[in-house]
Amino acid sequence: MNSRSYLQLLALGAIWGAAFMFMRIAAPEFGAIALAGVRVALACAIMLAIVAMLRLPFPLATHWKRYLAVGGVNTAGPFIMYCFAALYIPSAYSAIGNSTTPIWGALIAWLVFKERLGTAKWIGIVLAFSGVIALVGLQPVDVTPMIVLGMIAVLVGAVMYATASFLIKRYLSDAGGIVGATGMVLGASVWLVPLSLFALPAQPPTAIAWGAALALAVFCTVLGYFMFFRLIKEIGPQRASSVAFLFPAFAAFWGWLFIDEQITSNMLIGMALVLVGTALVSSGGAIRNSVHMKRFREWVFWPLLYTFSPHSLRRRIAKRVENDESLFADEVAALAANLPRFLPDADVAAASKEQRLLRFIDRCDVYLSFFRERNTLRRDIIVEGLPPVERPTMFLSAHRGNGWWMLLVLASQGRPVELVSAPFPKLTEWRDKLWSPYLRLRWREMNRMGGLPLITMKGASKHVRDALARGGRVIATIDIPPALAKRCSPVTFFGRTAYMPRQAIELAIEAGAAISFVFGDVDSSSLKQTLRFEPIDESLGADAAFAEYAARLEREIRTRPGSWHAWGDIDLYFVAPTNLVTP
């Protein structure tokens, strides 16, 4: 979109934003119905003259019923509603309410046409209605019945606009822009002009009121329609429709500048909520399928909802996640592609559900540990075989199950535990930086839960030696693909030679430390998590301990294939690396 189109869009937003101010000026003297009638009558006369001068074909004989129906729903009804609202509520309130039109359009499509609404649109709907509640509920003065009626009128007008969009698409899609707009205004005039004759004001309106009515007709209706249809031709209907996001700001500005309307905090809060919600609904299809909306649903929305929900609702959320194929789709696709090759008799559908559940609970655990740590530990975490603290211990974890609470459980014994982890990722793209708060929260929680700074891969060997020599305890994951590890050794895995790092086992045996395998499980019915510690006999040496590690991991994967998170990298395990270390 070029600078010229941007300027036109800005100008149109200013013009249509001013309409709410003009109604505030003229409605008290004309009355709602009379002002709406005057507006469409003047606009209709001007538009018919322009169509005649341009000698545009005007199919009144064949389209009059369509013009009458659409004009009533899209123009006559909303004009009355907004003129009525102008008697009681500020200009910005009406403009913000008008911005909910896409919200009502989405709900109509869902209720009437059974169109599925994605998560983004539902979030948008909730935000938009929260904005309307903020407008009315956070009033700096007492809320009166007429203020409430004014807001209801605005919302009814928005519903009518949303309904008309479906009628226009169905009945006027073949009409030209200017001709179709003229037909709609003519149809509205047929409804409003006779009605307004019975609602004429007792006193003649002043020149200021007539000037506002004339501005509504000439600028906000005739010029506004013509500019809008020109923009549709130049930049397309979707971009042109974004002008609606400019209404509230301009309405608030004009009302403040010319008629001394206050810009209050509740107005700003409501405006922000409605506009963000409308943006989500308007572009919900694209956002729902984007990487960032996918992350939002998987990392933020559903996990936070789960965190603050009672147990009965948690079970419903978890069941929904298990069955929602759009969640964790990449991870499940990797599982479904590789599982038949290694476990041909496995139930792929059941494993996919388990994969989604475990991934989801792992995301939830970040927030559960931050907001509801004590409650979660007391009610939902089961610990089996926890070793004593007297002896230094190497805890071997795997990309299997869910072991988030392992750090906190071990640290609760009174001795800090260190975790060997990958370093905090470097974020270069600005879109990826949007997720930095979540990643940093995860990083900080792991540091806090263990009680010691994380050990990153660089220089890990020395840190681990020192920790074990001091009688400490260390957690390390060694089912890591060779491409991500510094040193790898061969081991039998699924009947083939695989390659994994075994240095953690060697360091433990060198320090005389105990070795314990850790498995994490989530029960899909109770949603309780089990941390199971199983000792490995280190006295048999590094080779035997390494083989036992791989054998136990394979056993667990065969039992619950959906619990392993590394299906996407499984082929990498069987490629001999350049950093191969033989015992």
Amino acid identity at 336: A
52 found inside a domain: yes
**Percent of the chain residues past pLDDT 90, beyond the cut:** 41
List of E strands, 231-384: 381-384
Domain boundary among 235, 260, 282: 282
| Within a domain: 357 | no
Listing DSSP states for 176-191 in one string gives: -HHHHHHHHHHHHHHH
- Pick the most confident of 230-239, 357-366, 455-464: 357-366
Average pLDDT over residues 453-458: 53
Domain final residue pick, 264, 282, 300:
282
Q: What 3-state DSSP class applies to 426? A: coil
98-116 tens-digit pLDDT: 888 888 888 888 888 777 7
Residue 348 lies in a domain: no
Tell me what pLDDT residue 289 has: 44
Q: If you average pLDDT over residues 69-90, what whole number do you get?
A: 93
pLDDT in tens, 341-360: 999 999 999 999 999 999 99
Domain boundary among 265, 282, 299: 282
Asked whether the beta carbons of 535 and 414 are under 8 A apart, the reply is no
Q: Is residue 270 part of a domain?
A: yes
Mean pLDDT confidence for 409-431: 72
At residue 561, does pLDDT exceed 90?
yes
Cβ–Cβ under 8 Å, residues 573 and 481: yes
Q: Indicate whether 299 belongs to any domain.
A: no
Residues of the chain by 3-state class (helix, strand, coil), percent to 5: 65, 10, 25
More confident residue, 285 or 533: 533
Lowest-pLDDT range of 22-31, 38-47, 561-570 = 561-570
Tens-place pLDDT, residues 315-347: 999 999 999 988 899 899 999 999 999 999 999
Element (H, E) at 93: helix 91-98
- The percentage of the chain sitting over the pLDDT mark of 70, rounded to a whole number, equals 86
Beta bridge partners of 473: 393, 417
Q: Residue 561: inside a domain, yes or no? A: yes
Separation CA 138–CA 273 (nearest Å): 13
Query: Which residues are within 8 A (CB) of 453 and not within 5 positions of it... i.e. 6 or more apart?
Result: 418, 447
Q: Total domain count for the chain? A: 2
Distance CA 107, CA 278 (A): 12
List the 473-477 sheet strands across, edge first.
Answer: 381-384, 529-536, 514-522, 393-397, 473-477, 417-421, 455-456
Q: What is the pLDDT of residues 216-250, one digit of tens each?
A: 999 999 998 888 777 766 776 556 666 777 788 88
Place of tokens 């822009």: 177
Confidence bin at 76 (pLDDT 50/70/90): very high
pLDDT of residue 276: 80
Of 13-27, 154-168, 434-448, 507-521, minimum mean pLDDT range: 434-448
Instruction: Determine the pLDDT at residue 217.
Output: 95
Q: How far apart are CA 419 and CA 397, in angstroms?
A: 10
pLDDT tier, 52 (very low <50, low <70, confident <90, very high otherwise): very high
Are 34 and 154 in contact, with CB atoms under 8 Å apart? no
Residue range(s) defining the domain that contains residue 413: 380-574
Based on the domain organization, do 265 and 384 belong to the same domain? no
Let me know if residue 219 belongs to a domain. Answer: yes
* Together in a domain, 58 and 173: yes
Is 326 a member of any domain? no
Mean pLDDT of 460-478: 83
Across the range 429-437, mean pLDDT stands at 61
Residue 407: band (very low, low, confident or very high) from pLDDT cuts 50, 70, 90: confident
Q: How confident is the model at residue 149 (pLDDT cuts 50, 70, 90)?
A: very high
- Mean pLDDT value of segment 175-196: 87
Q: Is 69 left (phi over 0), alpha (psi -120 to 50) or beta?
A: alpha
Residues 429 and 548 in one domain: yes
Mean of pLDDT over the chain: 84
Note if the pTM is more than 0.95. no
Buried b (16+ CB within 10 A) or exposed e, 255-268: bbeeeebeebebbe
Range 508-535 average pLDDT:
92
More confident residue, 352 or 577: 352
The better pLDDT of the pair 289, 198 is held by 198
Q: Residue 288 has what pLDDT?
A: 42
